[in-house]
Amino acid sequence: GLFPHIASQNAIAPFLRGFKPSFKRSNGFFINGAKLDNRFLNQMDHEQWMKTTHEFTMALTDSVFETALKKLPLSSYSLRHQELLDIMKKRRDNLAGASEKYFFFLNRISDIRVSDKNELIRITDGPDGSMLIHVNKLSREGNTREQFFSKKYFPSVTKEIRIFTGKGNDSIYINTKRSIKLRIVGGDGNKAYQLVHVGGKLHVYEKENNAHFYGQHHRVRKHLSNDSLNTAIVPT
């Protein structure tokens, strides 16, 4: 009808979609969960993402669909079995394309949130024109410990990366020529920025007296303020 059609527009409620063979405006459909997906799926690269997608679609066999449809009331099964089965098969066939499209949507702006403990964040150049980000734990003495985050980012996919360092005494090492915009948001604790080379735009949000810059700090746009909103993570 007219009103459901209006309500399903991207500006109002893009997640309202009918059960159809194709996935139209799939990015809008997932918009409500995009922030959560960005946080928990941000270590998956394109290859891992598509591998997981294909494994899932292979598990959706025709027999799985038949088993699901048999749980319908007998009257509904008799009336719409073939119609629903055909739609489910076509949706399965179209799932990989929709999933890949969502991957690029999700990774255009990527969020990385580390813990409130001491950490070393290294941002360097990687192979094939990528930017590498590694995060390691630091001991109280400043020694590097185990790595818990590692990912390659490509400028053709990712336009901006936001790193939230939280509390703790953190070290941030940057030596990259890649053009991806970086926003680093600090918090409590001392932050040491070692800037060897900064290729793209770099914005740093810190308190007034806890951030220390070494190297090419003239390439950084510093946002220093003791206002709590300057380093706050505001859920959206």
Strand-by-strand arrangement of the 131-138 sheet: 144-153, 131-138, 119-125, 170-176, 191-198, 211-215
97-155 pLDDT, tens per residue?
Answer: 999 999 999 999 999 999 999 999 999 999 999 999 999 999 887 788 889 999 999 99
- pLDDT tens, position by position, 52-83: 999 999 999 999 999 999 999 999 999 999 99
Query: So what's the pLDDT on residue 23?
Result: 78
Cα dihedral 23, 26, 29, 32 sign: positive
* Residue whose pair of structure tokens reads 């799985």 in the numeric block: 64
Res. 180 pLDDT band, cuts 50 70 90: very high
Enter the tokens of residue 64: 């799985």
Angle between helices 46-59 and 74-107 (to 10 degrees): 170
The tens digit of pLDDT for each residue in 198-214 reads 988 999 999 999 999 99
Assess whether pLDDT exceeds 90 at residue 38.
no
Q: In terms of Cα–Cα distance, which of 169, 184, 168, 207 is closest to 123?
A: 184
Where does the pLDDT of residue 216 fall: very low under 50, low under 70, confident under 90, or very high at 90 and above? confident
SS3 170: strand
| pLDDT higher than 60, residue 14 | no
- pLDDT for res 19: 76
- Both structure tokens of 228: 């709590």
What are the counts of helices (DSSP H) followed by strands (DSSP E) for the chain?
6, 11
Residue 193 confidence (pLDDT): 95
Tokens standing for 219?
């390439």
Q: In what order do the strands lie in the sheet containing 109-113? A: 109-113, 160-164, 181-185, 202-206, 220-224
